Chains A and B, each alone.
Chain A
Amino acid sequence: GAVVSQHPSRVICKSGTSVKIECRSLDFQATTMFWYRQFPKQSLMLMATSNEGSKATYEQGVEKDKFLINHASLTLSTLTVTSAHPEDSSFYICSASGRRAYNEQFFGPGTRLTVL
């Protein structure tokens, strides 16, 4: 149990295009989903927290107009990187919680984004 999937696992795009990443909780209802970014050899960086049916809460320094998050259902959240640039190239990871009393977070496998 507690499986989270992400799609796509890898994406390469041209500068200026938008990329959508999907995160799904497969066997539980995720009341809260989180989006992280991780650069090589660096720590996880939380970008935003989203609760189903509500607007996402972004961390300081994360541009909400550039990283659009939608959490339309208890099993699906999407992150859209708008007008992507090479500096947005990173490993994007979602996580989901809601399955247990102490709200453990279960991570998806991640999406590696390369912007040319």
Chain B
Amino acid sequence: QKEVEQNSGPLSVPEGAIASLNCTYSDRGSQSFFWYRQYSGKSPELIMSIYSNGDKEDGRFTAQLNKASQYVSLLIRDSQPSDSATYLCAVPNTGFQKLVFGTGTRLLVSP
């Protein structure tokens, strides 16, 4: 059974700072990794996918993958109060059907 672990937080950062969210996973064979954002009372929204070692940037978001160390991180630059949400790390299980989710990290960005 794959495991995905995240610090539940809350992670508190001031507006304009960089928020760093981390995730570790247990299955060395994992090939793809996803970050979802979930606002309170809403459904998850896919914000980043990463498949190769290194960094992938999309606007203010950067996903970083290190397969040797089995961790994936999400950096949010210039954090805004509207970024306050729970960020879920997800890894597909064998066969790419189900996603295994971490418990999520709650991010609070204060004005």
Contact = CB atoms under 8 A, between A and B. Distances in A.
B43 A109 contact: yes
Interface residues of A, number: 19
Interface of A: 2, 32, 34, 43-44, 46, 49, 91, 93, 95, 102-110
18 contacts: A43-B101, A44-B88, A91-B41, A91-B43, A93-B43, A93-B44, A95-B44, A102-B32, A103-B97, A104-B32, A104-B46, A105-B46, A105-B90, A107-B43, A107-B44, A109-B42, A109-B43, A110-B42
Contacts of A106: 46
Interface of B: 31-32, 34, 36, 41-46, 49, 51, 88, 90, 92, 96-99, 101, 103-104
Contacts of B32: 102-104
Contact of B92 (A43, A93, A103, A110): A103
A44 B36 CA distance: 12
A36 B25 CA distance: 22
A71 to B, nearest CB: 13
Going nearest first, the 5 A-B pairs with the smallest beta carbon separation are A102-B32, A110-B43, A107-B43, A103-B96, A93-B43
A108 B42 CA distance: 10
Contacts of A105: 34, 46, 90, 99
Contact of A44 (B31, B44, B92): B44
B96 A102 contact: yes
A34 B98 contact: yes
Given A103-B32, A107-B43, A110-B42, 9 more contacts: A2-B46, A44-B44, A44-B101, A49-B97, A91-B43, A102-B32, A103-B96, A105-B46, A105-B90
B104 to A, nearest CB: 7
A46 B31 CA distance: 21
A17 to B, nearest CB: 24
A108 B43 CA distance: 7
Given A32-B97, A43-B104, A46-B98, A102 B49 contact: yes
